[in-house]
Structure 1
Amino acid sequence: MRYIFTFFLILVTLITNGKTVKTANNNSDKARLIVTTDLGGADPDDTQSLIHLLTCADGIDLEGIISSPSWVETPDNTSKIREIVDAYANVYENLREHSKSYPSPEVLYPLIVRGQSKPHVSGIGEGKDSPGSELIIKAVDKDDPRPIWLTAWGGMNTIAQAIWKVKNTRSEKDFERFSSKIRIYDVLGQDDAGAWIAKNFPRITYIRNDKIYGWAPDDNWTKNNIQNRGSFGAIYPDRIWATEGDSPAFLYLCANGLNTPEHPDYGGWGGRFDQEKCRNIRGMDFIVKSGKDEAIYDDYYMYGSAPEGVNAINLWKEELYNDFAARMIWSVTPLFKDANHHPTAILNGKRSLAPLILKAKAGKKLKLDAFGSSDPDGDALTYRWFKYDGPSSYKKNVKIDGIENSSCLITIPHDAAGKNIHIILTVSDSGTPKLSSYRRAIIEVK
Structure 2
Amino acid sequence: MFNRSLINLCLCLVLVFTTCTSCSNKKKVLKHKEKPRIIISSDIGGTDPDDNQSMTHLLMYNDLFTIEGLVSSPSYGKGSTSEILRMIDLYEKDLPRLQKHSQDFAEPDYLRSITKQGRQGNAPYSGYTTATKGSNWIIKCAKDDKPEPLWVLVWGGLEDVAQALHDAPEIQNKIKVYWIGGPNKKWSANSYAYIAAHFPDLWFIEVNASYYGFFSDNVMIDSINSTNYFEKYIHEAGHLGKDFKNYYNGEVKMGDTPSLLYVMNGNPENPAGESWGGSFETFNHSPRIVHHGVTTLKDTVAFCSINEFHLKGPVTNIPKDSICFWMEVPFGKSTQKWPGYYLGEGDYAIKYIPKKAEILNYTFTSEIPEINGLKGALVVDNFWPGKKHKTDYQLGNNWYTDKADKNLYDGKIQGGKTISKWREESLLDWAKRWAWLKDE
Q: If the length of structure 1 is used for normalisation, what is the TM-score?
A: 0.63
**1:173-252 counterparts in 2 under 5 A?**
175=170, 178-188=171-181, 189=185, 190-192=187-189, 193-211=191-209, 212-216=211-215, 217-236=225-244, 237-239=246-248, 243-252=253-262
Do the aligned partners of 1:191 and 1:283 also contact (CA within 8 Å) in 2?
no
Distance 1:286 1:125 in 2: 19
1:285 CA drift (Å): 9.4
Distance 1:55 1:24 in 2: 22
Aligned residues: 308
Do the aligned partners of 1:117 and 1:123 also contact (CA within 8 Å) in 2?
no
Do the aligned partners of 1:156 and 1:191 also contact (CA within 8 Å) in 2?
yes
2:96 counterpart letter in structure 1:
E
Distance 2:204 2:307 in 1: 21
Partner of 2:426: 320
| CA spacing shift, 1:238–1:285, aligned 2, 3 Å | farther
Do the aligned partners of 1:151 and 1:184 also contact (CA within 8 Å) in 2?
yes
Do the aligned partners of 2:278 and 2:419 also contact (CA within 8 Å) in 1?
yes
Do the aligned partners of 1:116 and 1:123 also contact (CA within 8 Å) in 2?
no
Of all paired residues, the percent bearing the same amino acid is: 29
Distance 1:35 1:21 in 2: 30
Q: Does 1:269 find its partner at 2:279?
A: no
2:402 counterpart letter in structure 1:
S
Q: Can you list the C-alpha shifts for 1:262-314, whole angstroms capped at 9, x where unaligned?
A: 11111311111014445328649999752441689732444111132111112
Partner of 1:172: none
Of 108, 111, 131 in structure 2, the residue corresponding to residue 108 of structure 1 is 111
Distance 1:231 1:150 in 2: 28
Of 293, 299, 307 in structure 1, the residue corresponding to residue 351 of structure 2 is 293
Q: Rg: which structure is higher? A: 2
Partner of 1:132: 134
Distance 1:14 1:106 in 2: 43
| CA spacing shift, 1:93–1:166, aligned 2, 3 Å | same
Q: Can you list the C-alpha shifts for 1:114-141, whole angstroms capped at 9, x where unaligned?
A: 0013313458656x11110011011001
Partner of 2:120: 117
Partner of 2:37: 32
1:183 CA drift (Å): 0.8
Question: Aligned Cα RMSD in Å?
Answer: 3.0
Do the aligned partners of 1:213 and 1:242 also contact (CA within 8 Å) in 2?
no
Do the aligned partners of 2:128 and 2:162 also contact (CA within 8 Å) in 1?
no
| CA spacing shift, 1:286–1:33, aligned 2, 3 Å | farther
1:31 counterpart letter in structure 2:
P
Distance 2:83 2:18 in 1: 48
1:67 CA drift (Å): 0.8
Alignment partner of 1:119: what SS?
coil
Alignment partner of 1:36: what SS?
strand
Distance 1:120 1:106 in 2: 31
Which ranges of structure 2 fall in alignment gaps of 5 or more residues? Answer: 1-16, 216-224, 288-301, 309-326, 328-336, 340-349, 354-389, 409-414
1:59 counterpart letter in structure 2:
L
Partner of 2:263: 253
Of 17, 21, 26 in structure 1, the residue corresponding to residue 27 of structure 2 is 21
Q: Can you list the C-alpha shifts for 1:39-60, whole angstroms capped at 9, x where unaligned?
A: 1122210000100111111112
Distance 1:263 1:91 in 2: 35
1:103 CA drift (Å): 1.1
Alignment partner of 2:59: what SS?
helix
Alignment partner of 2:418: what SS?
helix
Alignment partner of 1:253: what SS?
helix
Distance 1:252 1:238 in 2: 23
Q: Can you list the C-alpha shifts for 1:164-204, whole angstroms capped at 9, x where unaligned?
A: 0013xxxxxxx2xx211111111122412123212211111
Distance 1:198 1:262 in 2: 21
Distance 2:255 2:23 in 1: 44
Distance 2:86 2:131 in 1: 25
1:99 CA drift (Å): 1.6
1:222 counterpart letter in structure 2:
F
2:86 counterpart letter in structure 1:
E
1:22 CA drift (Å): 2.7
Q: If the length of structure 2 is used for normalisation, what is the TM-score?
A: 0.64
| CA spacing shift, 1:47–1:282, aligned 2, 3 Å | same
1:27 CA drift (Å): 4.7
Distance 1:112 1:160 in 2: 19
